[in-house]
């Protein structure tokens, strides 16, 4: 019998290194934005989920500072004990108004929102069907729930319908899970078709709007608005940490759902409430999204500019299908992806390699922001030509 119960750690780390799956943090210095300082080098930032460039906005920082001055740095307890502030309710009302739902509930992170919601609404007598490319938080929530967990091929409605035809009648409840924007590919879920199937088979549908909130839809309400599905019966989950430039997560839906989650979602009940600073910053961001549609317009102008340049100058670059500010191109293996990411970095472009097990095939992920300038995008394409060819 081994004498050191932790000896396996070094062996496992060596295996991760051999597979080129090893990861380490990279320190960003100073305020985030379209350009950042990384290890002493100024680089153009194509790695951020700060789609509208709000993280460094003076108005968000002023709102956060004012909230700290009034309420302190922390919420001091769970929302059901000492942690509830009027700011929290104000943010929830703003989210519900944006999403045009009856109510909303704010969690301390998007990950916690997914885990708490899924484990609250289904259990061991139930069935979950989940897109195979869903975010880790959806998958782990499904596993923790104890429900029977089945994945369907990415965006494959035909297979999903077949699975429901064969299995739905055997379970008390059924929950379909999907990202709205798939963060490592950039494509969108077939939401209208999913809603139709959910209605046909008496299923609940949970849509994670993490990468769509603030970005998609006429008013930036997300993929649900983009597809004209506002007001439909479904559960919307999202994050405050991407286009809204803050931290935290939310669930938006019926008043009955929100009331139920306040009594049954463990990651809300037993977690300290979102800090006043984060809450105030998110609330300020929602107001900016509503009042400044030109930010979203500029983001999409940047997306179209990059796509046009790539089509003209790198016609053989095999981009994954995308209807979002996320553009990815695949490479044959993790080694090649790491090499490409390093070459981009050396040339002043921060667009890191994404590798298994995060994705099934290695790739470079490019994420656009409203604050990118045309020159930033043009330099990216110029550098890509030296890296790819």
Q: Looking at beta carbons, which pairs linking 141-144 to residues 24 or more positions away fall under 8 Å? A: 141/114, 141/115, 141/116, 141/117, 141/177, 142/118, 142/177, 144/115, 144/118, 144/119
* 45 and 72 inside one domain: no
Give strand pairing partners of 152.
131
Res 31 pLDDT > 90: no
- As given in the structure block, the two tokens for residue 108 are 């301390």
Residue 26 pLDDT grade (very low, low, confident, very high; cuts 50, 70, 90): confident
* 103 and 45 inside one domain: no
Rg (CA), the chain: 21
* 138 and 65 inside one domain: yes
Which of 244, 260, 291 is the last residue in one of the domains?
291
Res 273 pLDDT > 90: yes
In a domain, 13, yes or no: no
Cβ atoms 306, 196 nearer than 8 A = no
Alpha-carbon span 380 to 371, nearest angstrom: 15
Alpha-carbon span 346 to 337, nearest angstrom: 14
Alpha-carbon span 12 to 25, nearest angstrom: 19
For residues 333-359, one letter each, b for 16 or more C-beta atoms within 10 angstroms of the residue's C-beta and e for the rest, the string is ebeebbebbeebbebbbbbbbbbeeeb
Residue 389 pLDDT grade (very low, low, confident, very high; cuts 50, 70, 90): low
pLDDT computed for residue 2 by the predictor:
66
What number of other Cβ atoms are within 10 A of residue 255's Cβ?
12
pLDDT computed for residue 68 by the predictor:
98
pLDDT computed for residue 372 by the predictor:
98
In a domain, 16, yes or no: no
Encode pLDDT of 112-151 as tens digits.
999 999 999 999 999 999 999 999 999 999 999 999 999 9
What number of other Cβ atoms are within 10 A of residue 311's Cβ?
11
For residues 79-92, one letter each, b for 16 or more C-beta atoms within 10 angstroms of the residue's C-beta and e for the rest, the string is beeebebebbeebb
89-93, 371-375, 384-388, range with the lowest pLDDT: 384-388
pTM, 2 dp: 0.95
- As given in the structure block, the two tokens for residue 150 are 């089945």
289 φ, ψ (degrees, to nearest 5): -60, -40
Residue 249 pLDDT grade (very low, low, confident, very high; cuts 50, 70, 90): very high
Find the mean pLDDT for residues 76-87. Answer: 96
* 313 and 281 inside one domain: no
Encode pLDDT of 174-215 as tens digits.
999 999 999 999 999 999 999 999 999 999 999 999 999 999
List, as one string, the DSSP characters of 282-293.
HHHHHHHHHH-H
Residue 19 pLDDT grade (very low, low, confident, very high; cuts 50, 70, 90): confident
* 283 and 301 inside one domain: no
* 71 and 26 inside one domain: no
The better pLDDT of the pair 389, 248 is held by 248
The average confidence (pLDDT) of the chain is 95
């Amino acid at each position: 019998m081994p004498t050191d119960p932790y000896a396996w750690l070094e062996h496992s780390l060596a295996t991760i290194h051999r597979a080129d799956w090893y990861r380490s943090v990279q320190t960003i210095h100073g305020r985030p934005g379209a350009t950042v300082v990384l290890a002493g080098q100024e680089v153009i930032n194509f790695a951020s989920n700060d789609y509208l460039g709000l993280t460094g906005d003076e108005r968000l920082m002023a709102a956060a500072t004012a909230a700290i001055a009034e309420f302190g740095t922390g919420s001091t307890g769970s929302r059901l004990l000492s942690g509830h502030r009027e700011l929290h309710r104000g943010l929830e009302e703003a989210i519900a108004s944006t999403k045009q739902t009856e109510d909303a509930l704010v969690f301390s992170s998007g990950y916690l929102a997914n885990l708490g919601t899924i484990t609250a609404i289904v259990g061991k007598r139930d069935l979950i069907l989940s897109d195979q490319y869903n975010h880790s938080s959806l998958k782990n929530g499904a596993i923790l729930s104890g429900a029977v967990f089945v994945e369907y091929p990415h965006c494959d409605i035909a297979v999903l319908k077949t699975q429901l035809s064969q299995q739905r009648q055997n379970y008390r409840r059924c929950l379909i899970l999907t990202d709205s924007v798939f963060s490592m590919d950039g494509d969108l879920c077939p939401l209208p078709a999913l809603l139709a199937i959910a209605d046909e088979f008496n299923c609940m549908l949970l849509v994670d709007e993490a990468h769509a909130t603030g970005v998609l839809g006429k008013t930036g309400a997300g993929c649900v608005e983009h597809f004209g599905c506002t007001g439909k019966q479904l559960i919307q989950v999202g994050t405050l940490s991407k286009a809204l430039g803050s931290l935290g997560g939310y669930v938006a839906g019926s008043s009955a759902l929100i009331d139920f989650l306040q009594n049954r979602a463990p990651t809300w009940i037993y977690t300290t409430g979102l800090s006043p600073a984060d809450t105030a910053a998110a609330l300020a961001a929602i107001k900016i999204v509503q009042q400044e549609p030109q930010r979203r317009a500029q983001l999409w102008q940047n997306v179209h500019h990059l796509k046009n340049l790539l089509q003209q100058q790198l016609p053989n670059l095999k981009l994954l299908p995308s209807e979002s500010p996320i553009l990815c191109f695949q490479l044959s293996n993790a080694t090649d992806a790491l090499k490409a990411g390093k070459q981009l970095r050396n040339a002043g472009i921060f667009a890191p390699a994404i590798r298994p097990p995060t994705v099934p095939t290695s790739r470079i992920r490019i994420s656009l922001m409203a604050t990118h300038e045309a020159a930033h995008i043009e330099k990216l394409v110029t550098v890509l030509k030296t890296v790819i060819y």
